[in-house]
Amino acid sequence: MSILRPKRRKFSMASRRMAVRTHIAWYWRGLFMSVALGVGVALAWWMYDVGGLLAGLDRGASEQGLAQLRSRVKELEKENAQLQSAQVKIDRHSQIDAESQRSLEREIKALQGENATLKEELTFIRKMSSGDRSGALNIQRFTIKEEVQGSYRFQLLLVQTGQKEPVFRGRLQLAVTAQGYGETREQLIPGDAAMDEKFKINLKTYQSIDGSFKLAPGMVVKSVEARIFADGSLRPKLSKTVNLS
């Protein structure tokens, strides 16, 4: 009997496996799906509100930060305008001070020149009042100044101190030594003394002679020699040189 049992199982009809499942009614399923759908919609709506709230907070914070930055920019622009105004005032005061300094320097230089002239005139007056009978003819003062480029002005004071000396008649000639274009030249002013009355000398006590001369462009005066000639003489009676450089 035990031998035949396996054979029976082999040749017997195979039976299907069966599973037992709990049956759920359709209306319960519909209710569950409705609740799940409602919960999902509510959750999505809540997330949307939270996102909008956070976005609104960020937007508010950004607008507040921009407002603060704009206010700070306005303050900086105002401070910058005040600083620029103060700088303009400082520059104006500096320019005024610089101009005042230059004007003061010019006045000091002019006063120094006038002081030197007064000293020379004082020396001349002392000689005249001392009764000097030497009869010397002297160039008391001889100056050269450049007015503009290439144009020069000269001043000469000629003095004769002897009380019994006759009137001195003669002429003045300037020997100008100039340099330019790699060479040195000498120019006589005036070229013909008879053609310029300003250079004629006719004095008993003193005579002041002043005038101007010009040089060719590019030429620079190095020195000027004042030569005093008596009428009819080709050799100067006396001379005096002023060096400019």
Tens of pLDDT, residue by residue over 19-78, are 555 555 655 666 666 667 666 766 777 676 666 555 555 555 566 777 777 787 888 888
Provide the β-strand partners of residue 241.
225
How far is it, in rounded angstroms, from Cα 154 to Cα 174?
Answer: 10
Tens of pLDDT, residue by residue over 141-195, are 899 988 888 899 999 988 887 666 688 899 999 999 999 888 999 999 887 655 5
Predicted TM-score (pTM) above 0.75: no
Of 26 and 205, the one with more pLDDT: 205
Is pLDDT above 50 for 138?
yes
Of the chain, the percentage scoring pLDDT greater than 70 comes to 65
**What are the structural domain ranges in the chain?**
41-130, 134-243
What pLDDT is stored for residue 201 in this prediction?
A: 92
Least confident stretch, 75-79, 115-119, 198-202: 115-119
How far is it, in rounded angstroms, from Cα 140 to Cα 120?
Answer: 7
What pLDDT is stored for residue 223 in this prediction?
A: 94
* Identity of the amino acid at 95: Q
Number of Cβ within 10 Å of residue 132's Cβ equals: 13
Of the chain, the percentage scoring pLDDT greater than 90 comes to 18
What pLDDT is stored for residue 23 in this prediction?
A: 54
Q: How confident is the model at residue 1 (pLDDT cuts 50, 70, 90)?
A: very low
Is pLDDT above 80 for 237?
yes
Q: How confident is the model at residue 129 (pLDDT cuts 50, 70, 90)?
A: low
Is pLDDT above 90 for 112?
no
Closest CA to 207 of 215, 194, 197: 197
3-state secondary structure 148-187: ECCEEEEEEEEEECCCCCCCEEEEEEEEEEEEECCEEEEE
Tell me what the pLDDT averaged over the chain comes to. 76
Summarize the confidence of residues 68-95 as an average pLDDT: 82
Give yes or no for a contact between 113 and 145, defined as CB atoms under 8 angstroms apart. Answer: no
What pLDDT is stored for residue 91 in this prediction?
A: 81
- 134-243 CATH pick, 3.30.420.40, 3.90.180.10, 2.40.110.10, 2.60.40.10: 2.60.40.10
What pLDDT is stored for residue 176 in this prediction?
A: 94
Summarize the confidence of residues 6-31 as an average pLDDT: 53
What pLDDT is stored for residue 60 in this prediction?
A: 59
